[in-house]
Structure 1
């Protein structure tokens, strides 16, 4: 479960063997035969590709022999949104899903996956771009929850929300400008949306949410860590479901 694969042959083999490559770093301006072969495989898998300078590749390299390409490989296989919905169906429960809008800190993602598992959520959905993937750090921080909680990676979070709405789901996002979470009905098929650590929930994603929930704050600062906010809001869902 290596996080990083370096060198042309090794990266090409990683793609062809079916490994889940989260991101591919390629030397800017390099378009020779082997690199073109890697790029073809990356396009087939819709892998995020980032062109960088030689200096940046050298900084990223763990071996010193990257040959112009470094692949960041997921430590765990991703599930699908359909897998998550099926898990809820198999349990005879309304779907309860956490959707993460651009979480970039692997420790936050791991902690949220751990909370999702303990709160009885059926899965976690993350976007492909501008977000951390399932690295070894995420796996460690999840304290084993990643073995039991499916994580799906999608190309477009708002389109995924539109599809899930057709399945009867509705969405609540955490934002300090919202209505107090205790005043909202969080029962039924629900998706809890947590925003980026610095910027919060993006405008387009927020517009797709049915409700905006604020978490009561009594201190001198105005925001919680993303993983803590996910825990607080998720356990309000748990509380309300237990009151049925």
Structure 2
């Protein structure tokens, strides 16, 4: 019978989910939840300010994109330095910077404050970007909210190094590296070359370290003063130096004589330094006019390229100072 509340099943049981419980205030499943503070206009999808910010980032990406044929390490690539400590060290070493990326609303500390101070003093382009953009720029590396990109290094031509020396009336002194793949060794050689007045460093295009951020830092600023040239074929470049009047001297543990006793150190010289393990390649060794050694105790197998180049360059400089100006 309709309206008979005593009929079985007609009464609503306590605790059912039908309707709101008096005094609940919209709690439980149907509660009203806040969405947090209103996002900035630049963060709202479809907003005019957001479209402008996206366009600015896209333009910056296009400007900072690696150019074909350049690179700081491998041809056609641009290098990225990620992480607060790495970025601070790179900026302290005056590594050339194309753009500095910093995450939005980044947690500041002493490193971030120093980064901003150096960036301001050097007038570096600072791009504020979301962390997703930093993930993309750094290739997923741990960036801690900050990263910088290096411009492609402009390698010189090997012939230009000799021409520049002759133009200034100086006796050419060039350092060539064969098989040196550690950027820190390259940076150390560049630093030694600058200290002893060499006119440049030559590296082969393949199987060789390039002017990366690590090489720049190890050079301690010398890379800004001493040019680095890239040779498509190192043996061919050495033969061209011989045609230009340079005496090509290679360093090897099994050299013919000690470098201090070598002849022609006061002549135009190209010093060739191989890797610590393999040394110079066979074809480069055969191209050298003379192969010399650095006398070391038998308990030490070899010196790394940076140390060996420094010792050899010192001996060349000493020989030239004894013989006097030519």
Q: TM-score, normalised by structure 1?
A: 0.73
Unaligned runs of 5+ in 2: 1-60, 78-136, 142-148
Secondary structure in 1 aligned to 2:254? strand
Question: Which of 140, 160, 171 pairs up with 2:237?
Answer: 160
> CA offsets, 1:31-83, max 9 Å, x none?
xxxxxxxxxxxxxxxxxxxxxxxxxxxxxx83249xxxxxx976532111232
> CA offsets, 1:129-173, max 9 Å, x none?
001111011011100101110100011000001111110111111
User: What is the rounded CA distance, in whole Å, between the counterparts of 2:285 and 2:267 in structure 1?
Assistant: 20
Larger RCO (CA under 8 A, 6+ residues apart): 1
* Alpha-carbon distance change, 199 to 152 in structure 1, aligned in 2, over 3 angstroms: same
The residue number in structure 2 matching 1:81 is 158
The residue number in structure 2 matching 1:183 is 261
Secondary structure in 2 aligned to 1:164? helix
Does the 8 Å CA contact 1:75/1:134 hold for their aligned counterparts?
no
- Does residue 63 of the first structure (1) align with residue 115 of the second (2)? no
RMSD: 2.5
Secondary structure in 1 aligned to 2:202? strand
> CA offsets, 1:106-129, max 9 Å, x none?
111000000000011000000010
Q: TM-score, normalised by structure 2?
A: 0.55
- Does residue 117 of the first structure (1) align with residue 194 of the second (2)? yes
**Structure whose CA Rg is larger:** 2
Secondary structure in 1 aligned to 2:252? strand
Secondary structure in 2 aligned to 1:212? strand
User: What is the rounded CA distance, in whole Å, between the counterparts of 2:234 and 2:157 in structure 1?
Assistant: 13
* Alpha-carbon distance change, 78 to 169 in structure 1, aligned in 2, over 3 angstroms: same
User: What is the rounded CA distance, in whole Å, between the counterparts of 2:318 and 2:152 in structure 1?
Assistant: 33
Which structure shows the bigger proportion of residues in strand conformation? 1
Secondary structure in 1 aligned to 2:190? helix
